[in-house]
């Protein structure tokens, strides 16, 4: 089974991660954890060319940390069960 878990740091996404960790058996299953970074502006600017997103760097670091923490916590829960 393949599962895509979208997280945003809310209590609901934490509960979803916990539920997956408690119910899913690792054999033959794959869980991808995703957090989305939302651009500040809806209209593209010249500064928003591919590879040049300085205003999103902080959001990207936070999203990566959230995914890593959720994955680490979920893996720990799964091993303890």
pLDDT given at position 80: 40
**50 within a domain of the structure (yes/no):** no
pTM: 0.66
Q: Which residue is listed with tokens 């300085």?
A: 54
The yes-or-no verdict on residue 74 having pLDDT over 80 is: no
* HSE-CB of 39 using CA atoms within 13 angstroms: 11
Task: Round the average pLDDT of the chain to a whole number and report it.
Answer: 79
State the residue range of the domain holding 73: 2-34+55-80
Residues written for the chain:
81
User: Are residues 33 and 2 in contact, defined by beta-carbon separation less than 8 angstroms?
Assistant: no
pLDDT given at position 1: 86
**61 within a domain of the structure (yes/no):** yes
Distance between CA atoms of residues 54 and 41, nearest Å: 13
**46 within a domain of the structure (yes/no):** no
Cα 76 from chain centroid (whole Å):
17
Q: What is the mean pLDDT of residues 34-45?
A: 72
**44 within a domain of the structure (yes/no):** no
**43 within a domain of the structure (yes/no):** no
Split into its structural domains, the chain has a count of 1
User: Are residues 56 and 40 in contact, defined by beta-carbon separation less than 8 angstroms?
Assistant: yes
């Amino acid at each position: 089974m393949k599962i895509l878990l979208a997280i945003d740091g809310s209590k609901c996404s934490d509960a979803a991660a916990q539920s997956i960790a408690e119910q899913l058996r690792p054999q033959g299953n794959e869980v991808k954890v995703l957090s989305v970074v939302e651009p500040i502006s809806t209209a593209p600017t010249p500064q928003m060319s591919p590879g040049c997103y300085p205003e999103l760097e902080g959001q990207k670091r936070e999203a990566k940390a959230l995914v890593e923490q959720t994955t680490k916590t979920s893996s720990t829960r799964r091993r303890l069960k």
